[in-house]
Amino acid sequence: MAPPKPAIEHTVDRTAEYEKFIEDLRAFHEKRGTHFDPEPKMGNITVDLLKLFKYIVEHGGYDKVSDEKLMWRKMCEGLGLMRHNAPADAYTLKQIFYKNLAAYEIKTIHNKEPPPPEILEHTTAKGGSLLTRTVETFQPKQAKAADREESTEDGTPSRERRAEDTPNSGRASRGLREAPTPRVIFHPDTNPSRTVRHASGQHSTSSTSNPHPQHQAPSHPNSRTHGNTTIPLHAQSHPHPSLRGASHYYDPPGLDTSNPVVQNYQPPPLRQVQLRIVDTPASNPDLFVRKQRLFRQSAVAGPNPGALLRAAIPAGTLDGPNIYERCLLSLRSRIQAEQAFALNHLVKISFERGDKYKFSQFGGLAEGLTEFALGVGNMFYDVDWTINNDPDSDEGEIGELDGINGSADILERIAQLKPKDVQDNLQPAEFTDKLTLVIEAVLTIRNMVMLPDNAWFMADYPPIKDLLCILLHLPPLELVVELKHFALDIAEQITPYLVLDSEDPLYKTLLAQLVSSDRGIILTALRAIGRIAMNHPTQTNKLGGVPSSTLQRLMDWLLLNDDELLDACLDFLYQYTAVIPNLDLMLAETNVEHLVVHLVRLLSHGAKRSYREIVVSEARLAYEQPSENVVPCPKDLLERLLATEEPERCYAWLRCFFEEDPDAQITQIAIWQAYNSAFLEPLKRMGRIMIPAPEFIRHISTVYQSAGAQVIREGPMGEVQKFIMRGIRPRSYPITPEGRGYFQCQWQHAGRPQVKCLAWNLTAERMYEHILIDHLKVVRGEDGLFKNREGTFTCVWDSCTKYPQPTKLQLVQFTSHIKTHLRAEEERHSVRHHQQQQQTQQQPQQQQPGEPAQGGVAAVSPKRPSASRQPRVVKPARTVTLPYEETASMRDERNPNAPPQAAGIPLSAVLILRNIARNVVKTAAEQRLCKEEAAAGAIANGEGEDEGVRGDEHSSGGWNERLFRPVMPRLWEIFTENRLLAPYVGSLFQLLGRDKDRNAWGSVWG
């Protein structure tokens, strides 16, 4: 019984932790020199290596899980990876952990050096004891023939014998008790030394080294199985081997190489291998003499010779054809019941075993299915389509198709047909039954051509193209929609092996499908057209004869939010623009400027935008004695602090104007004077009292625990006492209680260029209003807004050189210039504030020598800052924040450890842009445009001779200049922000640059 469905569903959570874990694991395997699979599979389930690693480590690690019986099976259940075969799933999971995570667990969890790959990853996952495995102690286990014990969940695959390893059974014997090997007493070989030939008449080498068991026929009243007839696959030849590329699938030799259960089926008499004496003319001549005498007597007396023949032939040696030949014969019998039986089984076989069911192994199957599918003609038209294979016959009736070369005039013949009156929603029973059989025949072909060998075989059979044209030109009825979809699926699979020119009927038929309103038909037709001659070594798909209306429809579809349709259209346009005459037609019949704009837009399809900071210059570090000057309190911050009561006001003021620094100190009188000067007068006006100085000093240690009051002695003899607070220093700029920093106005006073305003403002908006009101003296209107006016303005912000002299400008123009200063100053200050916060958090909190407990006072002598102290930032690092885009990408399957490459719709769009830039300069339209520009330049040169106007200044540089100049800013933006597309956009710039150089030299085509 199959195990129950897991309570949880195993999925891959691609979090930041998962991505970091996979990158660390990939680097570990690269350093170790072993293969790493980042996304292993269990059937169709992708295993999350991070979840697997954490789960196994929680249960004690690989060795502990392997030591407990059935523990790996429990791991599968806990991770939601249990499918249908618990022992096989458990071993698969164990092998995935063993190959990818075992060495990593030893290194990171147990802090030991893992064994070398030769005795770890390069061996099987059988057993455990990885922590104690060494080269000297490891002994690889040899497979023993007597190892027949009952397998556990971590048993090696050698215990799970395949069906072909069990000669007398049609299924695998895993999980079944087997009888012990019988003890056979040795008998010397008394048979003749001559090799016994097989009854099938095949070569002895093929029968011994590569047996081909027969298929088991389904139960049917008329179905029988034939004897051991084997046709070697190598004896079959392909007429065009050059058309086939490198094989990418496993193709074992033999007639029936599909299902192991069917392959290993043996007739019942062969299950018990028994030796018996066989009568031959040499060993028993009398028996054969009597048989010959009986035949001669029957010829004279007239009895039934068949009865004598059946009596002489042993039972079970003539079992009849197998199910495949049975279906083929039924299909060609013209008996509807037999045809229904054949097509029903062929649909099932082609779907379930389509990976190995080949046309080349069953002669006449492709012809039979094609001939039967052609019967759809007399259902909708007054015509019976037949295939004529006579190469010398003249053109006959309209329904005779050329089976040798194909019918070149099939579209003209279809156009001459008169359709029958077929109702779309009501048909007779006979019509429906016949249409169902035709659909099943076409579906069988469709299922079989999914195998590349079958697709190549059908592509070399000319009538299949006529059949596709007939099916796709059926009347526009709903009852044939499924039939047309199957026909397009067949065309999609066989067009890679076909070479179709612009006059080919199938090519015209596929182009005609692009005007359909069915999305599925359009998609399949586009894919079929784009794959023409894909697998041909010399011919290419030139896509000639595409109507301009179809090209315009393709451009319109680029505006839809349909990724699948976008991808198909871009594949078509990529091949179409690679041919120069096609591009010439596009320039003449369509608006290519709009196409280029949409292609540039698709370069950011599905992009994720983010930002990254890059350090331009490193921070400068030095030892510096902090200043005791406390910056003045901004007006808005002072109002906020006055609204609070003590001691919260004291706490907030200390946080806003001071920061921790273990190497700094400030006198107690300086910090008290700064607080007193900020709040004494405002509090008097409000009728409130100040906090006492001793209590204020105690609050400093409450806010900053590293700060402490100390007494130092100065002077030659230490006679001067100085009361200080060690561990804090004044900030270079104030911050709000929420942590936002203020920045100063750099506007210089009129007449005093060295004196700056230095007013504190929290945001760029407030600084903007400060400059307008306090420096430019602009008055707000009644609505609270600043009115635009014309005036004379001078920019005196720091060292600005934009408007050093009074310039007549509109106010809005001058304020736009001021905003550039404010944005830059605010961003620079935000970066500096962030860096200082990080530095403050990283500074060690150490108690200074002689420092008392919180609030205490100790007398110590002053010390110079030593060289071992932590340096403090004097000038922060300069950084630049750069945006970048991430579009679709994929890894190379041949090199999974390589960096990801561009993929998807953005890659197709940039490749089309390169085709246009490369080929547009070679078109006739480019020559005409250059001649027109030369003529216009000559006219301009003649008219502007007195003014020195030259004609080359009126030249726009050809089609590339016209197409790409409007989108150049966006292309440069993508070039700088998208790392994956940058190489492709760079090659596009090279093409445009060469064309620009050509125009600069004044060379004109023609």
Confidence (pLDDT) at 956: 55
Reduced to 3 states, what is the DSSP secondary structure of residue 471? helix
pLDDT 10s digits, 981-998: 999 999 999 998 865 544
- Summarize the confidence of residues 499-514 as an average pLDDT: 93
Q: What is the CATH number of domain 635-731?
A: 1.10.10.10
CA 985, CA 803: separation in Å to the nearest integer?
38
Q: What residues contact 115, with CB distance under 8 A and at least 6 apart?
A: 103, 106, 130, 133, 134, 135, 138
The pTM for the full model equals: 0.49
Mean pLDDT over each residue of the chain, to the nearest integer: 76
Q: Which long-range contacts (CB under 8 A, 24 or more apart) does 257-261 make?
A: 257/212, 257/233, 257/356, 258/353, 258/355, 258/356, 258/357, 259/215, 259/352, 259/353, 260/162, 260/163, 260/164, 260/172, 261/163, 261/170, 261/171, 261/216
Around 391, how many Cα atoms within 13 Å sit in the side-chain half-sphere? 2
Confidence (pLDDT) at 525: 95
Tell me if the bond preceding 647 is cis, omega within 30° of 0.
yes
- Summarize the confidence of residues 954-967 as an average pLDDT: 80
Least confident span in 402-416, 635-649, 679-693, 780-794: 780-794
- Summarize the confidence of residues 540-554 as an average pLDDT: 91
Q: How many CB atoms lie within 10 A of CB 48?
A: 23
- Summarize the confidence of residues 531-548 as an average pLDDT: 87
Helix/strand/coil (H/E/C) assignment for every residue in 591-616:
CHHHHHHHHHHHCCCCCEEEEEEEEE
Task: Using alpha carbons, select from 846, 844, 748 the residue that is nearest to residue 797.
Answer: 748
pLDDT 10s digits, 28-76: 998 888 888 888 888 778 889 888 899 999 988 888 888 888 888 888 8
3-state helix, strand, coil in the chain (%, to 5): 45, 10, 45
Bridge partners of 721, per DSSP, are: 713
Q: How many CB atoms lie within 10 A of CB 82?
A: 24
Which has more pLDDT, 509 or 225?
A: 509
CA 381, CA 37: separation in Å to the nearest integer?
57
- Summarize the confidence of residues 476-494 as an average pLDDT: 94
Sorting pLDDT into bands at 50, 70 and 90, what band is 791? confident
Sorting pLDDT into bands at 50, 70 and 90, what band is 333? confident
CA 542, CA 942: separation in Å to the nearest integer?
45
Q: What CA dihedral angle connects 234, 236, 240 and 246, to 10 degrees?
A: -30
Which range has the top average pLDDT, 188-202, 496-510, 666-680, 697-711? 496-510
b/e per residue 693-732 (b: at least 16 CB within 10 A): eeebbebbbebbebbbbbebeeeeeeeeeeebbbbbbbbe
Whether the per-residue pLDDT at 163 is higher than 50: the answer is: no
Helices 580-589, 904-919: axis angle to 10 degrees equals: 90
CA 999, CA 441: separation in Å to the nearest integer?
61
Q: What residues contact 603, with CB distance under 8 A and at least 6 apart?
A: 887, 906, 909, 910, 970, 974, 978, 981, 985
Looking at residue 476, its amino acid is P
Least confident span in 51-65, 198-212, 369-383: 198-212
Sorting pLDDT into bands at 50, 70 and 90, what band is 492? very high
Whether the per-residue pLDDT at 15 is higher than 80: the answer is: yes
Confidence (pLDDT) at 752: 64
Confidence (pLDDT) at 798: 77
Classify burial at 477, counting beta carbons within 10 Å of its beta carbon; exposed 0-12, middle 13-18, buried 19 or more: middle
Q: How many CB atoms lie within 10 A of CB 77?
A: 17
Around 479, how many Cα atoms within 13 Å sit in the side-chain half-sphere? 17
Around 231, how many Cα atoms within 13 Å sit in the side-chain half-sphere? 10
pLDDT 10s digits, 630-646: 888 888 888 888 888 88
Least confident span in 301-305, 360-364, 823-827, 991-995: 301-305
CA 976, CA 982: separation in Å to the nearest integer?
7
Reduced to 3 states, what is the DSSP secondary structure of residue 303? coil
Whether the per-residue pLDDT at 308 is higher than 70: the answer is: no
Confidence (pLDDT) at 803: 81
pLDDT 10s digits, 567-615: 999 999 999 999 999 999 999 999 999 999 999 999 999 999 888 888 8
Which has more pLDDT, 882 or 716?
A: 882
Q: What is the DSSP string of 61-103?
A: -HHHHHHSTTHHHHHHHHHT---S-HHHHHHHHHHHHHHHTHH
- Summarize the confidence of residues 815-841 as an average pLDDT: 69
Sorting pLDDT into bands at 50, 70 and 90, what band is 370? very high
What's domain 16-163's architecture? Orthogonal Bundle (1.10)
- Summarize the confidence of residues 743-766 as an average pLDDT: 75
Confidence (pLDDT) at 496: 93
Q: How many CB atoms lie within 10 A of CB 779?
A: 8
- Summarize the confidence of residues 407-431 as an average pLDDT: 90
Looking at residue 56, its amino acid is I
Least confident span in 225-229, 389-393, 547-551: 225-229
Element spanning 400, H or E: strand 400-402
Task: Using alpha carbons, select from 721, 732, 669, 735 the residue that is nearest to residue 697.
Answer: 669
b/e per residue 495-514 (b: at least 16 CB within 10 A): bbbbebeeebbbbebbbbbb
DSSP-derived secondary structure letter, 741: B
Confidence (pLDDT) at 555: 93
Answer whether 533's CB lies under 8 Å from 498's CB: yes
pLDDT 10s digits, 859-914: 333 333 333 344 455 567 788 888 889 999 998 888 888 889 999 999 999 999 99
Kindly state the tokens that stand for 16.
Answer: 């930041």
Reduced to 3 states, what is the DSSP secondary structure of residue 845? coil
Confidence (pLDDT) at 732: 80
Category of 757 on φ-ψ map: left (φ > 0), alpha (ψ -120 to 50) or beta: alpha
Q: What are phi and psi of 723, to 5 degrees?
A: -90, 125
Element spanning 940, H or E: helix 924-943
Answer whether 316's CB lies under 8 Å from 269's CB: yes
pLDDT 10s digits, 737-750: 888 888 778 777 76
Distances 524 to 484, 490, 520, 545, 809 between C-alpha atoms, Å = 11, 10, 6, 19, 62
Confidence (pLDDT) at 577: 93
Confidence (pLDDT) at 995: 57
Confidence (pLDDT) at 942: 61
Q: What residues contact 190, with CB distance under 8 A and at least 6 apart?
A: none
Least confident span in 249-263, 556-570, 667-681, 892-906: 249-263
- Summarize the confidence of residues 809-831 as an average pLDDT: 77
Confidence (pLDDT) at 150: 39
In this prediction, what percent of the chain has a pLDDT beyond 70?
Answer: 73
Confidence (pLDDT) at 566: 94
Task: Using alpha carbons, select from 463, 600, 466, 556 the residue that is nearest to residue 917.
Answer: 600
Q: How many CB atoms lie within 10 A of CB 621?
A: 13
Confidence (pLDDT) at 575: 93
Sorting pLDDT into bands at 50, 70 and 90, what band is 826? confident
Confidence (pLDDT) at 833: 62
Classify burial at 524, counting beta carbons within 10 Å of its beta carbon; exposed 0-12, middle 13-18, buried 19 or more: buried
